[in-house]
Amino acid sequence: MNSVEGETQVPITSGVLLFGKYEMTGIGIRDGGLAKYIDLTPVAIPHTGGKHANRSFGKSKVSIVERLVNNLMRTEVYTGKKAKSLGTVKDAFEIIAVKTKKNPVQVLIEALENAAPREEITRLQFGGISVPKAVDIAPCRRLDIALRNIARGTVDASFKNKKPVEECLADELILASRGDMNSFSVAKKEELERVASSAR
């Protein structure tokens, strides 16, 4: 195809762009355990309407961005307000794209990899004695905990703060993607793993 002089070339993509801006293909996942449960199917607007709700492991077929939106929606401020949560995530992705010059979906994946704990403790009963014991966490649960902590950290950071929740979400994802201990989700992961290592 010949280009006319003065015409700008649009890069060829897979077709569907998240929020009309971000490519969902070509995203790298370093953590092999989480790869099976992170769905990066290209969608324009991540809103399935809960089709996965009654299926076992159905949430692994839901876009990872929608799962972030759903977890944000479970917090006090956004309870049941999916459109508002979607707008927050969209604005946060724009802030991430400006600050990091990277694809925000890649930043989200890196944040989840760094915020997903590998061990936790459970209580075992021996007669009348309860003993803590360290156990490995299933990959699906690791992802659930990481998403929940990112959402909690975002809401906690924006509470009684002039900074809007979009900026708080963007900062949380950027810090978590770098593995920074100032991130709520990374700090929670380290705390959980430290307690588990003492209960081995």
- What average pLDDT score do residues 168-174 get? 92
Task: Report in angstroms the alpha-carbon separations of 103 from 24, 94, 161, 162.
Answer: 9, 10, 27, 27
The Cα 27–Cα 29 span in angstroms is 7
**Residues in contact with 23: Cβ distance below 8 Å, sequence separation at least 6, in sequence order:** 13, 14, 17, 103, 105
Count the residues in the chain: 200
User: Residue with structure tokens 């509470």?
Assistant: 159
DSSP for residue 58: G
Query: Is the per-residue pLDDT at 181 higher than 50?
Result: yes
User: What are the tens digits of pLDDT across the range 41-76?
Assistant: 888 888 887 777 778 877 778 888 888 888 888 877
Helix runs in 56-103, H state only: 64-73, 82-100
- The rounded percent of the chain whose pLDDT value lies above 90 is 22
Instruction: Classify domain 32-198 by CATH number.
Output: 1.10.455.10
For the chain, the structural domain boundaries read 32-198
Task: Tell me the sheet residues that pair with 135.
Answer: 120
The Cα 88–Cα 68 span in angstroms is 11
- The rounded percent of the chain whose pLDDT value lies above 70 is 93
Residue 14: which pLDDT band, with cuts at 50, 70 and 90?
A: low
H or E segment to which residue 27 belongs: none
Residue 6: which pLDDT band, with cuts at 50, 70 and 90?
A: very low
Measured CA angle at 64 (ends 177, 80), to 5 deg: 110
